[in-house]
């Protein structure tokens, strides 16, 4: 093969069948489940005003500081490819008047996000997130309902052992006081930090808590914990979240060092980490963000949400999409093509997947392809027990019949063309 002239941009990739079908099946499971909990889908633009993210995600976060795809458009306006979707959702509900409408408001999204990160296993520059946001409920019931739904989704994808790491970051005041304490603790230990880490220490010490720098990780041992700075109400809220999750059978544990990298969280934060990912990489994250909508110019509106990294989810999920049956229609000559289309139409109406050999390779070559399909059925997402070849040739045309062969048993039957639908219904399950 000659080297391709064009390649996908670094950190981006193509999703091909059958992998894309596995994704699609997982997304459909999610959609069904979210709808059954009263969530409607929101699709926001991939492009937003840069200021939206600076204001919401936070000026001093890694995302805003060095990971955004930001560029001036042809009129010089600064635009950014969204690095996450919550800010866009918050903007959209304000702009469309939903933030002032009936509550609770439940929305989910699925889509691409963009971050200029160092690509590696499970980390891309274009990746996908599946997320849900619940607006208008200040109480811990919101977290409980959202996380139970999230867990049901994970279970439906075959995850058995995952558990939610849970913490509370309290109010803005908590974060400020805690940040100061972390700064005081780290300053005498900061000589080994890199320039970037020292900048964070000066600007926003909380940024250092999920740092990947080993010097920082070491210095953090024994540092103050956010839990010690919580106000009584946040404490009470957190305790109720835990009780409700236990009642709902949602596995969770306390993770006092969890603060999450985005600025907009208040009180509850959570993550799901899998042993199968490197220690710094989570499958999903989320939390409560009671101040975000107001800070973007909307009404005061409590909210809680999660974002699942779909790439990582699909990498880890034991789930296999249900395999399907396939009818391969093999016209012997071009003269048999119209008949082949007729048969295909009829079979599809019965819910079968059908492929017509448009290249009209004839029976022998057609069967080579059929057998290759049979051999690779598992990987290709087909059920080998339900693969059939259907022959349409001179003999069939002369007698108004069709011949059907099961690729798994090798058995072959000739049936009258007029009885085809009946035969398929009885013998070839969709």
Binding site for ligand AMP (CB under 6 A): 84, 115, 117, 123-124, 127, 129, 261, 282-285, 307, 309, 311-312
Q: Which is nearer to ligand AMP, 165 or 389 (CB)?
A: 165
Q: Which is nearer to ligand AMP, 312 or 386 (CB)?
A: 312
CA angle 77, 81, 82 (to 5 degrees): 120
Q: How far apart are CA 60 and CA 53, in angstroms?
A: 11
User: Which residue, judged by CB position, is nearest to ligand AMP in the bound state?
Assistant: 309
Minimum distance from residue 116 beta carbon to ligand AMP (Å)? 9
Q: Which is nearer to ligand AMP, 115 or 237 (CB)?
A: 115
Q: Which is nearer to ligand AMP, 89 or 284 (CB)?
A: 284
Minimum distance from residue 25 beta carbon to ligand AMP (Å)? 19
Alpha-carbon distances, residue 125 vs 63, 64, 98, 262 (angstroms): 12, 14, 31, 18
DSSP state at residue 336: G
- 207 in Cβ contact with 61 (< 8 Å): yes
Alpha-carbon distances, residue 176 vs 100, 172, 204, 248 (angstroms): 30, 6, 9, 33
Helical (H) or strand (E) element with 72: strand 69-72
Q: Which is nearer to ligand AMP, 261 or 384 (CB)?
A: 261
Minimum distance from residue 284 beta carbon to ligand AMP (Å)? 5
Minimum distance from residue 306 beta carbon to ligand AMP (Å)? 8
DSSP codes joined into one string, 170-209: --HHHHHHHHHHHHHHHGGGGGGS-HHHHHHHHH-GGGGG
Closest-CA residue to 109 (of 154, 57, 44) = 44
Minimum distance from residue 217 beta carbon to ligand AMP (Å)? 19
Minimum distance from residue 64 beta carbon to ligand AMP (Å)? 12
Which two three-digit tokens encode residue 14? 């193509």
Q: Which is nearer to ligand AMP, 131 or 325 (CB)?
A: 131
């Amino acid at each position: 093969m000659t080297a391709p002239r064009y390649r996908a941009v670094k950190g981006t990739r193509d999703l091909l069948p059958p992998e894309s079908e596995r994704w699609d099946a997982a997304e459909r499971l999610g959609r069904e489940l979210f709808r059954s909990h009263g969530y409607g889908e929101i699709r926001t633009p991939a492009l937003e005003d840069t200021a939206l993210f600076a204001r919401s995600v936070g000026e001093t976060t890694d995302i805003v500081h060095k990971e955004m795809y930001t560029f001036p458009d042809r009129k010089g306006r600064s635009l950014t490819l969204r690095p996450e979707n919550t800010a866009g959702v918050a903007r959209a509900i304000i702009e469309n008047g939903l933030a002032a409408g009936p509550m609770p408001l439940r929305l989910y999204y699925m889509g691409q996000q963009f971050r200029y990160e160092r690509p590696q296993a499970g980390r891309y520059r274009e990746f996908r997130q599946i997320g849900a946001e619940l607006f208008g409920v200040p109480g811990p019931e919101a977290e409980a309902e959202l996380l139970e739904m999230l867990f049901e989704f994970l279970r439906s994808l075959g995850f058995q052992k995952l558990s939610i790491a849970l913490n509370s970051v309290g109010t803005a005041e908590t974060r400020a006081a805690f940040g100061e304490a972390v700064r005081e603790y780290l300053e005498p230990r900061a000589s080994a930090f890199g320039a970037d880490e020292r900048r964070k220490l000066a600007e926003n010490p909380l940024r250092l808590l999920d740092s990947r720098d080993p010097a920082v990780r070491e210095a953090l041992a024994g540092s103050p914990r956010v839990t010690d700075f919580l106000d009584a109400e946040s404490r009470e809220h957190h305790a109720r979240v835990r009780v409700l999750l236990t009642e709902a059978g949602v596995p969770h544990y306390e993770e006092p060092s969890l603060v999450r990298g985005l600025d907009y969280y208040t009180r509850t934060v959570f993550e799901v980490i899998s042993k199968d990912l490197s220690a710094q990489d989570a499958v999903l994250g989320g939390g409560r963000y009671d101040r975000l909508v107001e800070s973007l110019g909307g009404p005061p509106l409590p909210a809680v949400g999660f974002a699942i990294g779909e790439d990582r989810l699909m990498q880890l999920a034991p789930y296999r999409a249900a395999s399907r049956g396939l009818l391969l229609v093999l016209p012997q000559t071009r003269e048999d093509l119209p008949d082949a289309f007729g048969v295909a139409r009829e079979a599809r109406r019965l819910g079968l997947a059908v492929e017509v050999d448009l290249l009209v390779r004839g029976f022998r070559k057609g069967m080579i392809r059929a057998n290759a399909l049979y051999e690779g059925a598992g990987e290709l997402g087909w059920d080998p027990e339900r693969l059939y070849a259907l022959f349409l040739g001179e003999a069939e045309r002369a007698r108004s019949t069709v011949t059907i062969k099961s690729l798994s048993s090798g058995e072959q039957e000739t049936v009258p063309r007029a009885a085809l639908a009946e035969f398929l219904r009885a013998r070839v399950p969709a």
